[in-house]
Amino acid sequence: MMKSLENTIGALYDRIRQARHCVALTGAGVSTLSGIRDFRGKNGIYNDMDAEKIFDIEYFMKDPTFYYGAAKSFVYNIDEKKPSIVHTVLGALEKQGFLKALITQNIDLLHQKGGSKRVIEVHGSPQVHYCLRCAGVRMQFEEAAALVKAGKLPKCPQCGRVLKPAITFFGESLPIEAIKEATEEAQKADLMLILGTSLTVYPAASLPNYTLQNGGELIIVNNMATSLDKKAVQHFDDLAEVFEELQGLLLP
């Protein structure tokens, strides 16, 4: 990690405190610290299972048991995971009024566990499971997870169809309201923290460009290169180190 005068954690914290509208954009890297595997990293899910098939809407329609069997080990055990220092510090920054919104590509609910209230989930969420046929049928994550862990499937009480999580699958449109809200926040931001994402998945990867176009600044913390590294005012590669130091600087 570079330690020039302008690239210290102290300078990062000053930028966050002085920002008029600071927004965070997070990816899988913030949750690997909590023991949740990412998709494309060295130990990612793609290395030992067909993740695209797991999250393919057409395949789900044909055989939902495949999704639940495969996702049991990494979606339906997230209630056992604890938020990392990144999640808790972001929650503290929001509570202190420095962070106005948090946009996440993650589907693990750990930002909420970490204390963040204004969370925009651009890839959907497993918090709710719903029936693709019967309007209004909803099941919360806790109930669905208990069924999946017991080897059962969450089913609609009206038609018996297997419920689908409100995660955006391949072949589905992203949640319109979440994308709209995320775009508006990126446009308003004079500072965006890009954390644990290599900015390869669109449209989330395009959000920092709205901040740049409106004169805002980017700070990137990621252990892999991104397409916007040269446009960031600060860049760090170790999330845990950065947020441990930030935690020590937080106001009591």
Structure tokens at 234: 């600060």
- Cα–Cα distance for residue pair 220/17, rounded to 1 Å: 17
- Cα–Cα distance for residue pair 132/38, rounded to 1 Å: 28
Residue written as tokens 């997870």?
145
Q: Is 134 exposed, middle or buried (0-12, 13-18, 19+ CB in 10 A)?
A: middle
* Active-site residue, from 87, 111, 123, 235: 123
* 25 closest CA partner among 116, 157, 113: 116
Task: Give the other-Cβ count within 10 Å of 170's Cβ.
Answer: 14
Alpha-carbon dihedral sign for residues 171, 174, 176, 177: positive
Residue 200, amino acid: T
> 165 to each of 75, 79, 91, 137, 150, how far by Cα in Å?
10, 15, 25, 12, 17
Q: Listing from the earlier edge strand, what are the strands of the sheet with 164-167?
A: 138-140, 124-130, 164-167
Is 123 an active-site residue?
Answer: yes
Catalytic site positions: 123
